[in-house]
Structure 1
Amino acid sequence: MKVGFIGLGIMGKPMASHLAKAGVDLMVADLNQDLVKELELLGAKGGTYEEIGKSCDIVLTILPNASIVKDVYFGENGVAQHMKKGSLVIDHSSVTATDSRECYDKLKEMGIGFLDAPVSGGQEGAVRGSLAIMVGGDEADFRLAEKEVFCHYGSSALLIGGSGSGSITKLANQIIVNNNIAVLAEALTFATKAGADPEKVFQAIRGGLAGSQVMEDKAPRMVNRDFVAGGTIKVNHKDITNVINTAHAIDCPIPFTAQLYEVQQTLKVHGCLNDDHAAYVKYFEKLADVTVKKMED
Structure 2
Amino acid sequence: MKVGFIGLGIMGRPMAEHMVKAGLDVMVSDLNEKIVAELVAEGATAGSNKDLAEQCDVVEMILPNASIVKNVIFGEGGLMDYMKAGQIVVDHSSVTANDSRECYEKLQEKGIGFLDAPVSGGESGAKAGTLAIMVGGDEKNFNTCAPIFDTYSSQATLIGDSGSGSICKLANQIIVNNNIAIVAEALTFAAKAGVDPEKVYKAIEGGAARSYALEDKAPMMVERNFTPGGTIKVNHKDITNVINTAHAIDCPIPYTAQLYEIQQTMKAHGHMEEDHAAYVKYFETLADTIVEKKN
TM-score (norm 2): 0.99
Correspondences of 1:1-297 after superposition (within 5 Å): 1-147=1-147, 149-296=148-295
Distance in 2 separating the partners of 1:89 and 1:231: 24
After superposition, give the CA deviation of every residue in 1:181-201 in whole Å (9 maximum; x if it has no partner): 000000000000011100111
Distance in 2 separating the partners of 1:34 and 1:241: 32
Paired residue type of 2:27: M
Distance in 2 separating the partners of 1:30 and 1:66: 17
Displacement after TM superposition at 1:179 (Å)? 0.1
Displacement after TM superposition at 1:20 (Å)? 1.1
Q: Secondary structure at the match of 2:270?
A: coil
Distance in 1 separating the partners of 2:72 and 2:267: 28
Displacement after TM superposition at 1:278 (Å)? 0.3
Paired residue type of 1:80: M
After superposition, give the CA deviation of every residue in 1:37-68 in whole Å (9 maximum; x if it has no partner): 11101111111111110000000010000000
Displacement after TM superposition at 1:271 (Å)? 0.7
Distance in 2 separating the partners of 1:77 and 1:235: 27
Point out where structure 1 has 5 or more consecutive residues left out of the alignment: none
Q: Secondary structure at the match of 2:151?
A: helix
Displacement after TM superposition at 1:177 (Å)? 0.2
Distance in 2 separating the partners of 1:245 and 1:31: 30
Distance in 1 separating the partners of 2:163 and 2:249: 14
Paired residue type of 1:5: F
After superposition, give the CA deviation of every residue in 1:118-174 in whole Å (9 maximum; x if it has no partner): 000000000000000000000000011102x10100000000000000000000000
Distance in 1 separating the partners of 2:154 and 2:140: 20
Distance in 2 separating the partners of 1:81 and 1:27: 18
Paired residue type of 1:168: I
Distance in 2 separating the partners of 1:213 and 1:270: 26
Q: Secondary structure at the match of 1:27?
A: strand
Q: Secondary structure at the match of 2:252?
A: coil
Distance in 2 separating the partners of 1:286 and 1:244: 25
Displacement after TM superposition at 1:204 (Å)? 1.1
Paired residue type of 2:80: A
Q: Secondary structure at the match of 2:255?
A: helix
Distance in 1 separating the partners of 2:189 and 2:265: 19
After superposition, give the CA deviation of every residue in 1:239-273 in whole Å (9 maximum; x if it has no partner): 00000000011110101000000100101111100
Q: Secondary structure at the match of 2:282?
A: helix
Distance in 2 separating the partners of 1:41 and 1:236: 32
Distance in 1 separating the partners of 2:143 and 2:106: 21
Distance in 2 separating the partners of 1:79 and 1:43: 24
Paired residue type of 2:158: L
TM-score (norm 1): 0.98
Distance in 2 separating the partners of 1:26 and 1:203: 42
Point out where structure 2 has 5 or more consecutive residues left out of the alignment: none
Q: Secondary structure at the match of 2:150?
A: helix
Q: CA RMSD in A?
A: 0.6
Distance in 2 separating the partners of 1:84 and 1:3: 15
